[in-house]
Amino acid sequence: MHLGSCQSADLNQPAIGPMRSQPGFRVTGIAIGFAAAAAIFAGVARAQQEPPPRPPHPILLPEANHLPDVNDQMVMKEQNAKKKDFSAANAERKRQIDDEAVKLLILAKDLKAKMEKAGNDPLSPTLVREAEVIELLAGDLKLKMKMTVGGS
């Protein structure tokens, strides 16, 4: 019988253990569970916000990043000198065009004044000749305005 009384005593004891059945330990366990879930959720959110890692920079070959040698430098200097010459020639051409345009304007105004002075009289051969000269000068000026001096 002693055995039977022992069994009945074992049935009265809780199966989980005396400390786990208390309410304070249950609340602590729930809080730990929520904290673990929050940590997992924060890790997932942080992983979604971080940008993807950058690929490594490509390695440049020395041939692609070399300084020009003496011959290349000489060629570049010649090209720059040609560009300066072309710029100077274009500036001179523009100056000449401006001068010729002013002279052409003066001749045209002078011819107009002479024609108004003549009135309804027939045009004299000198006035016709002046008009032809103005027309030729205007054509030359138009061609000069189209031309530019430059290399390739």
Residue spans of the domains in the chain: they are: 2-49, 69-146
Residue with tokens 């602590």: 28
Query: Along the 152 residues of the chain, how does pLDDT read in single tens digits?
Result: 444 444 444 445 555 555 555 555 666 777 787 777 777 776 666 655 666 667 677 666 666 767 788 888 899 999 888 888 888 888 888 999 999 999 999 999 999 999 898 888 888 889 999 999 999 999 999 888 887 666 54
First to last CA, the chain: 120
Q: What is the pLDDT of residue 6?
A: 45
List, as own/partner pairs, every contact residues 139-148 make where C-beta atoms lie below 8 angstroms and the sequence separation is at least 24, other chains included: 140/100, 141/97, 141/100, 141/101, 141/104, 144/93, 144/96, 144/97, 144/100, 145/97, 147/93, 148/90, 148/93
Rounded to 10°, the helix 125-146/70-118 angle is 160
